C-alpha cells in the first residue's frame, strides 16, 4: 500500500525547491551566470528535487507491485507502462534522470547556460509529475 504521508512529504519538498528555483528564474541569464552561488544553488536544488521524484517513483513502483526496476529509468518507464505517468512526458523524465546522474558524477561538466535553460523551460516537468502522482495516489486509485 502506498504511504500517502511519504508521498506528500516528498511532493512538498519538491514544491519548496521549485519556489526557490522560481526565485532564481527571475534573474537574467547574465545575473545568473555571474553569481556562482546562484548557479550552485540551482544545480543542487534541481538535483535533490530529481532525487525526490525518483524516490516517489520507486515507492509507487514497489508498493503497487509494478515490477523490479534495475535503474531509475526503469522506474519511470514502469510508471508510464502502468498509466500513472504520461508516455508523452517520458523523454522529459529521462532527461531529468540523465541530468541527475551528471550532477552527481560529472558535476564539472555542466554549464551555467544549461542550468539556466533548465530552470527557464523545464520546471513544469516537476509540476506535471506531481499532478500525475496526486491523481494516482490521492484521488481514489
- The model's pLDDT over 50-70, given as tens digits with 9 standing for 90+, comes to 999 999 999 999 999 999 999
* List of long-range contacts for 130-133, beta carbons under 8 Å, 24+ apart: 130/11, 130/14, 130/15, 132/79, 132/84, 132/85, 132/86, 132/89, 133/7, 133/11, 133/56, 133/60, 133/84
CATH no. of 4-137:
1.20.120.580
Q: What pLDDT is attached to residue 24? A: 95
Q: Could you list the active site residues?
A: 100, 105
Q: Using H for helix, E for strand and C for coil, what is the string for 55-124?
A: HHHHHHHHHCCCCCCCCHHHHHHHHHHCCCCCHHHHHHHHHHHHHHHHHHHCHHHCCHHHHHHHHHHCHH
What are the grid coordinates assigned to 54, written together? 525518483
Whether residue 10 has pLDDT greater than 60: yes
Interval 11-26 mean pLDDT: 96
Looking at residue 141, its pLDDT comes to: 44
User: Percent of the chain scored above 70 by pLDDT?
Assistant: 97
Query: pTM (2 decimals)?
Result: 0.92
Q: With the CA atoms of 39, 45, 50 and 52 taken in that order, what torsion angle do they form, in degrees rounded to the nearest 10?
A: 170
Tens digits of residue pLDDT in 90-121: 999 999 999 998 888 877 778 999 999 999 99
Residue 131's H or E segment, with its range, is helix 123-137
Let me know: does 19 contact 26? Beta carbons within 8 Å: no
Give the chain's mean pLDDT: 92
What is the structure's pLDDT at 116? 95
Nine-digit cell string for 139: 484521488
pLDDT band at 140 (very low <50, low <70, confident <90, very high): low
Amino acid at each position: 500500500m502506498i504511504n500517502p504521508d511519504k508521498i506528500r512529504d516528498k511532493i512538498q519538498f519538491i514544491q519548496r525547491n521549485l519556489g526557490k528555483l522560481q526565485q532564481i528564474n527571475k534573474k537574467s541569464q547574465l545575473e545568473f551566470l555571474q553569481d556562482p552561488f546562484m548557479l550552485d544553488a540551482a544545480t543542487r536544488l534541481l538535483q535533490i528535487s530529481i532525487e525526490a521524484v525518483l524516490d516517489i517513483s520507486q515507492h509507487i513502483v514497489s508498493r503497487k507491485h509494478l515490477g523490479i526496476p534495475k535503474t531509475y529509468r526503469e522506474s519511470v518507464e514502469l510508471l508510464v507502462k502502468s498509466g500513472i505517468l504520461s508516455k508523452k512526458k517520458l523523454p522529459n523524465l529521462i532527461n531529468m534522470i540523465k541530468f541527475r546522474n551528471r550532477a552527481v558524477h560529472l558535476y564539472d561538466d555542466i554549464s551555467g547556460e544549461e542550468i539556466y535553460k533548465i530552470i527557464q523551460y523545464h520546471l513544469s516537468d516537476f509540476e506535471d509529475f506531481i499532478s500525475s502522482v496526486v491523481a494516482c495516489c490521492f484521488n481514489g486509485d
